[in-house]
A and B are shown apart, each in its own frame.
Chain A
Amino acid sequence: MVRMESIAVIFGGRSAEHDVSVVTALASVIKPLELTKKYRVEAVYIAKDGAWYWDDKLKDIKLFTSGEIQNYLHRTQPSSVQFDGGMTLVKASGIAGRKQHRKIDLVFPAMHGTYGEDGALMGLLDMAGVPYVGCGVSAAAICMNKVLAKRVALGSGIPISKYVSFAKTDLERNASGLLKLLDKELRFPVFVKPAHLGSSIGISRATNETELRNALEVAAHYDDEVLVEEEVPNLIEVTLPVIGNEQPQAALLERPMTKAEDFFDFETKYLQGGKKGKGKGGGSKGAQGYSQIPADLPKGLYSQAEKLGLKVYQVMGCSGIARIDMLIDEKAGSVYFNEVNPLPGGLYAHNWNKAGMSNVELVQRLVGFAKERHAARQSLTTTFGTNYLQQF
C-alpha cells in the first residue's frame, strides 16, 4: 500500500491577523486538501501565546467560532516539533504516556502577518529542509515590509506612488519635525500604514493634519516602522492573484468596489462582507466582500496592470502564491505598484474560481509548486569542501 503524503497546515500564530489565518486554513486549505484524498492533512495551530498544537479537532471551525478553543487550550498539552533531518510532529497520545509522532512531507503555511507570512516560519522550514507552499524567506520578508518592497520595486523601475517612511522611535522623539517633513514631501490625502501588517490592519486615510496625527498613532501602535504615501488621484484599486514559480500565472484582475473614502480596510474586507462597498452590477461577493472580477477596465489598462503584477511577482522573487495590489490613475492611465501579499487571505480562491480553477485544483497546484521549488533547491550545492579545519 502506498503511504499517503503528510501535509501539515500551520495556522493561527502571534499576529494581528491570527483570526484571518484560522479561516484561511480551515476553509481554503485543509478542506480542499482533504478532498483530494491524496494527502493525510495535519492541522497545526499556533495559539496567540506561540504554543503549537497538533490535533484533528483543530480542523473544526466551530471550535474557534464558538470560543471553545480557549477551553481546549487549557486542557491540552502543546505539541512539539522535532527536526530530525526533516520535520516530525510530536504529541502525547494519552495512552500510558506514549508519544505520537507524524513525519511531515510538506508544510502548507496558512499564516498571515508577523511570524508567519514575513519569512520567519519559512526560515524555520528551510532549516528543517521541508518543502513548503508559498514564497521563500527573502521574498516573504521583502513583501511583508511595505517600505522594503517599495525600495526593491523602485530599484527595478516599477512605478510607485510618492512615499515617506520612518521608524516608530522617530515619531516618538520628534513628532512635529516629522509632520513638517511629511507636509513638505507629500500632499493630502495620504495613506498611513504599518510597514509589516497585512489584511489592511492599522491603515488609515488622512485628509488633514489632525487626521494624520491620529493615523500615525494608530499605525505606530501596530508596528515599529510606518509608511505614509500619497493617494493616487482618480484612483482605481486593483489586485492580481498570481501562482507559480519560474513561469507565474495570473488569475483575474480584481477591483474591490469601494470609494477612496471607504478604502478596503479590515472591517470592510472581513467583517462586513464588503457592505461598505458601493458596487454596481457585475460585482462578485467573494471572501473579501464585493469586488468586480474581472475588473472592468479598458483593454490596454487591464493588460498594463496584469503585466506589471507579473513583473512585480518576479522582481520580488515570489514563488508558489502571492497577490499583487496596484493603484491606477484612471485619467492618466498610469498603474502603480502598491504592495504584495505573500499569502492572500483565503488564497483568493474566489478569484481563482472565476478564472477557472477550483479550490481543490488550486491547492494541488500549490503543493506541486512547493515540491518543484524544493527539488530545484535540493539540486544546488550548499557545501564546499576545504581543508580549513585541518589547518586550524
Chain B
Amino acid sequence: MIKALKSMYNLNYPKALVYMLQASEYKIRPYIAWLHRTKDFQKVMHRRQLDFTRAARLLLWALRLGILLQLIGGILLIYFGIWHRLAGGVPFGVAAIISYPFTWAYLLVVPLLIGRALVEIPAEAQAGHQSQTAFASHPGKKIAVAGSYGKTTMKELLQTVLSQGLTVAATPANRNVVRSHAQFARRLSGNEDILIIEYGEGAPGDVARFARLTQPTHAVITGLAPAHLDRYKTLAAAGKDIFALANYLKGKNVFVHKDENVEPFLEKDYELFDVHGVLGWRVSDVKVSLEGTSFQLSKGAEHLKLNSGLIGAHQVDYLAFVAAFALKLGLSTEQVREGVAKTVPFEHRMQPYKLSGAWIIDDTYNGNLEGIRAGTRLLKTLPARRRKLYVTPGLVDQGEETAKVHHTIGALIKEADPDVVVLMKNSVAQYIQEGLQGYKGELIIEPDPLEFYTNLSQFVAEGDLVMMQNDWPDNYA
C-alpha cells in the first residue's frame, strides 16, 4: 500500500500513466482496469518503454503541465490560507497537492474522449465510406476471413497457395479493422483476381459492419472459441457476430472450419472442413514432425500428396481446405503442391527453433483455447529425448469464462503430460493449477515471465522439447 502510494508521487508517474494508456491502445476501459489493479507504478514499464509518438509526447506534456498547475494552485491556496487568512485555503491547498496523482490519472482520458468524438469517429466513418466504394467496384473475388482464432494463419495460407496461379492481395499482418481495410483498399490496383480481407472481431456488431463495408463474395470462418469475452460476454454472442458474415452471403460460398463450438450456428448451405476432409476431398496419411507436416488428399482415384513446413496435425484442417479451395478456383495440382510446400511457420506461431540444443516451439502469439488444445496435443505427439516442458501464462480477455477456460487449459496440459509445467504468476495461474490436479510432473510458478523468457537458454539442454504458448504484455501481467 505504502509502496503503491510512493510510486504515485515518483517523477516517472506521468510517464507510466501515458505508457499504460499507450499499451492499452488508447482504449479507456482497459486503461482504467489496469489503473485500478496496479500496485506499483514504477514497475508498469517492465517489458517495454513508452514509445514517444506524437500523441504520447502531447499527452505527456499536457499531463505534466496539468500536474504542475495543480501543484502551484495548491501552494497558492496554502499561502493565501496562512498569510491572508483565506477560508479553507490550507486544507484545500493540501488536498490539491496530495490528490494530483489520482486526479490526473482519470483526467488523462479527457483528451482521448474529445479526440475520439472530434477526430476518430468522423475519420472512421469516412474510411468506411471510402472502402465501401473501393470494394464495391473491385472486379476480383473478395474472400473474408473471420473467426476467433487462426484468421491470420488462414489468410497467409490462402495468399501463399493461391498466388501460385492467381494475382492475390491480402490485408497486411493482423491489421483487420475498418481503417486498415480502407488503407488496403486504397493500395489496390484493380487487377487483382483475389482479395483476402481479415476481419478482427472485438465487440458485438463488428463483423456485420465489416461485411457491409467490404462486400465479400466468399467467407471463410476459421472457428469459434472463447476470445474477447470481456466485450462479447458469452461464446454465443461471439458466434452470432462471427456468423453475421455467413448471413451476409446468405449461406453461399461460406466455408466453415468445423470445431466443437460452431455447431449451433451451422446451416445446410455451408461447406464444412476439418481434418477428415473438405469439398469432396478426403484427408489421410497425416505425418507430423519438427520439420513439417505431410498428408494426402484423395477424391475417387485422384491422390495428392502434400508437404508443408507448418507443424502440427491441427494445421492439416486449414491446409487441406486451402488446397481444395485452390483446386476449385482452377489451380493445377502442381501449383497447389508447390504452394503448400512454400508454407512455413509464421513468427511466434508454432515456430520451431533450436536453443542450447533443445527444440523450442514458439507459439507465443497464440491467445485462444483452440490454439492451446492444438499445442498441447502437438507436445504429446512429438518425441523428446529428455524432457518435455510446457510454458504458458494462460489466456486474457476470457471475461466470466476465465475460471472455466483455465480449468480446461490445466486439464489439457495434464493430458499432454509434460515433465515440467511452467506457469506465470498471475491472476489465472491458480485456475490452471486446479485444472492440473493429479499432474505428477514438476510445476514451476514463475514470478518474472520476462526473466524466464530472456534466460530460457539457461533452463534447457539437448533433448528437451519446449512448447511456449501465449505471452502477456505489461497491461495484463
A353 sits at the interface (CB 8 A) = yes
B459, A354: Cβ atoms closer than 8 Å: no
Q: A-side interface residues toward B, CB under 8 Å?
A: 31-32, 35, 352-361
User: B461 contacts which of A31, A35, A361 (Cβ < 8 Å)?
Assistant: A361
CB neighbours of A354 from chain B (8 A)? 357, 461-462
CB neighbours of A358 from chain B (8 A)? 356, 458-461, 464
User: A35 contacts which of B386, B458, B462 (Cβ < 8 Å)?
Assistant: B458
Closest to A354 in B: B462
B462, A353: Cβ atoms closer than 8 Å: yes
A353, B455: Cβ atoms closer than 8 Å: no
CA distance A357 to B458 in the complex (A): 10
A32, B458: Cβ atoms closer than 8 Å: yes
B442 CB to nearest chain A CB (Å): 12
CB neighbours of B464 from chain A (8 A)? 356, 358
B221 CB to nearest chain A CB (Å): 43
B356, A35: Cβ atoms closer than 8 Å: no
CB neighbours of A35 from chain B (8 A)? 451, 455, 458-459
Total of A-B residue pairs, C-beta within 8 Å: 39
CA distance A355 to B357 in the complex (A): 9
A365 CB to nearest chain B CB (Å): 12
B385 sits at the interface (CB 8 A) = yes
B461, A357: Cβ atoms closer than 8 Å: yes
Q: Which of B451, B461, B462, B464 has the most CB of A within 10 A?
A: B461
CA distance A363 to B463 in the complex (A): 19
- Further contacts, 4 of them, CB under 8 A, given A358-B460, A359-B457: A355-B462, A357-B461, A358-B356, A358-B461
CA distance A358 to B452 in the complex (A): 14
Closest to A33 in B: B458
CB neighbours of A361 from chain B (8 A)? 461
A31 CB to nearest chain B CB (Å): 6
CB neighbours of A352 from chain B (8 A)? 461
CB neighbours of B459 from chain A (8 A)? 35, 358-360
CA distance A88 to B288 in the complex (A): 56
CB neighbours of B457 from chain A (8 A)? 359
CA distance A35 to B455 in the complex (A): 8
**Residues of chain B from 383 to 413 with CB closer than 8 A to chain A in the complex:** 385-386
CA distance A129 to B106 in the complex (A): 60
Q: B-side interface residues toward A, CB under 8 Å?
A: 356-357, 385-386, 451, 455, 457-464
B458, A356: Cβ atoms closer than 8 Å: no
Interface SS of chain B: helix, strand, loop or mixed? loop
CA distance A106 to B349 in the complex (A): 43
CA distance A260 to B52 in the complex (A): 56
Closest to A363 in B: B458
CA distance A314 to B65 in the complex (A): 72
CB neighbours of A355 from chain B (8 A)? 461-462
Closest to A355 in B: B462
A-B contact pairs, 23 of them (CB 8 A): A31-B455, A35-B451, A35-B455, A35-B459, A352-B461, A353-B357, A353-B460, A353-B461, A353-B462, A354-B462, A355-B462, A356-B357, A356-B385, A356-B462, A356-B463, A356-B464, A358-B459, A358-B464, A359-B356, A359-B457, A359-B458, A360-B458, A360-B459
CB neighbours of A359 from chain B (8 A)? 356, 457-459
CA distance A355 to B460 in the complex (A): 11
A356 CB to nearest chain B CB (Å): 5
CA distance A289 to B158 in the complex (A): 44
Q: Which of B356, B458, B459, B464 has the most CB of A within 10 A?
A: B458
CA distance A357 to B358 in the complex (A): 10
B451 CB to nearest chain A CB (Å): 8
CB neighbours of B357 from chain A (8 A)? 353-354, 356
CA distance A360 to B464 in the complex (A): 14
Closest to B356 in A: A353
CA distance A353 to B460 in the complex (A): 8
CA distance A353 to B455 in the complex (A): 14
CB neighbours of A353 from chain B (8 A)? 356-357, 460-462
CB neighbours of B458 from chain A (8 A)? 31-32, 35, 358-360
Closest to B444 in A: A37
Closest 7 CB pairs of A and B: A358-B461, A359-B458, A353-B461, A353-B356, A356-B463, A32-B458, A353-B357
A353 CB to nearest chain B CB (Å): 5
CA distance A353 to B358 in the complex (A): 9
B443 CB to nearest chain A CB (Å): 14
A22 CB to nearest chain B CB (Å): 18
CB neighbours of B462 from chain A (8 A)? 353-356
CA distance A361 to B462 in the complex (A): 13
A37 CB to nearest chain B CB (Å): 8
B410 CB to nearest chain A CB (Å): 23
CB neighbours of B356 from chain A (8 A)? 353, 358-359
Closest to B386 in A: A356
Q: Which of B455, B462, B463 has the most CB of A within 10 A?
A: B462
CA distance A354 to B357 in the complex (A): 6
Q: Which of B357, B460, B463 has the most CB of A within 10 A?
A: B357
Closest to A358 in B: B461
CB neighbours of B385 from chain A (8 A)? 356
CB neighbours of B386 from chain A (8 A)? 356
CA distance A361 to B464 in the complex (A): 13
CA distance A353 to B356 in the complex (A): 6
Q: Which of A31, A353, A354, A355 has the most CB of B within 10 A?
A: A353
B441 CB to nearest chain A CB (Å): 16
CA distance A389 to B124 in the complex (A): 99
Closest to A27 in B: B458
CA distance A357 to B461 in the complex (A): 5
B450 CB to nearest chain A CB (Å): 13
CA distance A352 to B356 in the complex (A): 10
CA distance A354 to B464 in the complex (A): 10
CB neighbours of A360 from chain B (8 A)? 458-459
B101 CB to nearest chain A CB (Å): 29
CA distance A360 to B385 in the complex (A): 19
CB neighbours of A356 from chain B (8 A)? 357, 385-386, 461-464
Closest to A37 in B: B447
A225 CB to nearest chain B CB (Å): 38
CA distance A161 to B471 in the complex (A): 56
CA distance A228 to B297 in the complex (A): 70
A110 CB to nearest chain B CB (Å): 16
CA distance A360 to B357 in the complex (A): 14
CA distance A75 to B385 in the complex (A): 51
Closest to B460 in A: A358
Closest to B448 in A: A37
CA distance A358 to B451 in the complex (A): 16
CA distance A352 to B463 in the complex (A): 12
A129 CB to nearest chain B CB (Å): 31
A241 CB to nearest chain B CB (Å): 13
CA distance A271 to B357 in the complex (A): 23
CA distance A356 to B357 in the complex (A): 8
CA distance A356 to B358 in the complex (A): 9
CA distance A58 to B220 in the complex (A): 57
CA distance A35 to B456 in the complex (A): 10
Closest to B458 in A: A359
CA distance A360 to B386 in the complex (A): 15
Closest to B457 in A: A359
Closest to A361 in B: B461
Q: Which of B451, B459, B464 has the most CB of A within 10 A?
A: B459
CA distance A88 to B357 in the complex (A): 39
Q: Which of A352, A356, A358, A360 has the most CB of B within 10 A?
A: A358
B316 CB to nearest chain A CB (Å): 32
